[in-house]
A and B are shown apart, each in its own frame.
Chain A
Amino acid sequence: MLQQFFFVLIVRPLVLIVIGLNIRHRERIPLKGPAIVVSNHNSHLDTLVLMTLLPWPLLRHLRPVAAKDYFLRNRVLAWFALNIMHIIPLEREVIDRHQDPLAACSGALQSGDILILFPEGSRGDPEQMGTFKSGIAHLAKRHPDVPITPIFLHGLGKALPKGEAILVPFFCDVFIGEPIRWSGDRSSFMTSLEQGIKTLAEEGYRPAWE
């Protein structure tokens, strides 16, 4: 309920009016769970944009997978992350080898949720794509039937990059790719995922930003 208010009153006006999206291939957005949405990561806005993209009734089934050390670092942020954003906290550094870091993600997929995942692991340098971490491959291997939709985002890192507090409006590109599935091999899977997003990136025109 609180989540719906937050999205209707703040996130949607922010994303659709202040920022403004240029969406390509909207028909490729998964319309039911279980599914995984994967994108490049440049800004805190990325998650909000991806969450407004998916159909309204699915909102409570959307689970952004987010770094535990960052989002649960204080009580206010933790409350917001867990109760409004419904994140699945993920350990970035695996300390206990006997614990399965992806158990919560698997559980969510089994109950039909849609995961939002940023394989770069962090926002990194604005508008630069880092290398993908292979956690997504473990998840794909465990759930070979779950479609994984690659999405390329551009512009949000200009609007609100890491370390900046002032939002500067830019129209942002959201290019959605064809879903892929576990290929049976980790390196070929990771290549096709990264390639999927890079191919999408080439679809658009992007002005210089240095």
Chain B
Amino acid sequence: MLSHITPSVLAALGGVLGILVVASLIAALLKRLHPDKNYTELIQRIRSWWIMIGIFSGAILLSRTASILFFAFVSFLALKEYVSLIPTRRADRRVLFWAYAAIPFQYYWVHEQWYGMFIIFIPVYLFLLLPMRMVIIGETKDFLRAAGTLHWGLMTMVFSLSHAAFFLVLDGARNPAGGGAGLVLYLIFLTQFNDVAQYVWGKLTGRHKIIPKVSPNKTWEGFLGGVGTTTALAMVLAPHLTPLTLVESLGAGLLIALGGFIGDVTISALKRDIGVKDSGSLLPGHGGILDRIDSLTYTAPLLFHFVYYLHY
């Protein structure tokens, strides 16, 4: 069953499990030491982490197909949350249906390792198809807004995220240390780690606001601290999970840290535009699914093309 998993991937999953156990113990300890303080959100957050990491690890360990299905499902949830959040036109119900229908196709190309189709399906074919479908329906009021917002959603929630899944089908022989699953783990772990690192550095040392109009809690100190820690960790983990050399892993770390930050603030800008604090309520303690995968919408395609160009 575990033939598609290398020992270092197993070790990395064990490491993540260890971090979760420690986080849960710290939360329990905090609650006991300060019974007067409210730790509900922290505890909910950690509980949601357990569920997300449980499902993710289960899919990774089960098989490559299960892992691809996992990412397809995440894309589905993300696109659904997005179209539930933005203004849509009543006339576009059937257009939205085709946007959803793109998800199984996109992940099927991934499963079949059809790189050419994977890379043009949404940016070319869906980009051309959806406005055509809108025109056939014939509603012209807010046409541009509808076509633009829907394509942005498909690019972000489906096209970008599906890059994480394409790591799984890359030639395993070129990455003997980690295989496809190793690169996925490298991407997801570092992206989420970067979120936490930027948050913690910001809380501890943050003073100078970096982008106050979009995200008033983000600071230069948090950002730079995150970049430093994430890049260092990217260099430590690279030989175990990826084919990257030391210098390349430095670039990968910077890419994830920077890309993660930008992904985070673009979704913040979207939420600020719409006027909501959380994108949904799917993940207690985190908010919606977009609140969790925001950074990944940038890091997944960026890291993928970096690694693909250098090694595949």
Contact = CB atoms under 8 A, between A and B. Distances in A.
Contact of A126 (B83, B84, B89, B90): B90
A158 B91 CA distance: 11
Given A20-B77, A22-B280, A207-B88, A170 B94 contact: no
Interface residues of B, number: 23
B276 A164 contact: no
Given A20-B282, A205-B276, A171 B80 contact: yes
B66 interface: no
Nearest to A169: B80
Contacts of A169: 76, 80, 100
Contact of A170 (B84, B87, B90, B275): B84
A96 B281 CA distance: 49
B89 A207 contact: no
A158 B76 CA distance: 17
Interface residues of A, number: 17
Instruction: Tell me the dominant secondary structure on chain A's binding face.
Output: loop
A169 B93 CA distance: 10
B86 interface: yes
Contact of B93 (A20, A168, A205, A210): A168
A168 B150 CA distance: 14
Interface string A184-196: 0000000000000
B85 interface: yes
A171 B280 contact: yes
B83 A170 contact: yes
A134 B22 CA distance: 58
A170 B282 CA distance: 13
Contacts of A210: 89-90
B309 interface: no
A170 B83 CA distance: 7
A166 interface: yes
Contacts of B276: 205
A168 B97 contact: yes
B294 interface: no
12 contacts: A22-B280, A22-B281, A168-B94, A169-B76, A171-B80, A171-B84, A171-B282, A205-B276, A207-B85, A207-B86, A209-B87, A209-B88
Interface of A: 20, 22, 126, 155, 158, 161, 164, 166, 168-171, 205, 207-210
Given A166-B93, A208-B88, A209-B89, 15 more contacts: A20-B80, A20-B282, A168-B94, A168-B96, A168-B97, A171-B84, A171-B280, A205-B274, A205-B275, A205-B276, A207-B85, A207-B87, A208-B87, A209-B90, A210-B90
Interface of B: 76-77, 80-81, 83-90, 93-94, 96-97, 100, 274-276, 280-282
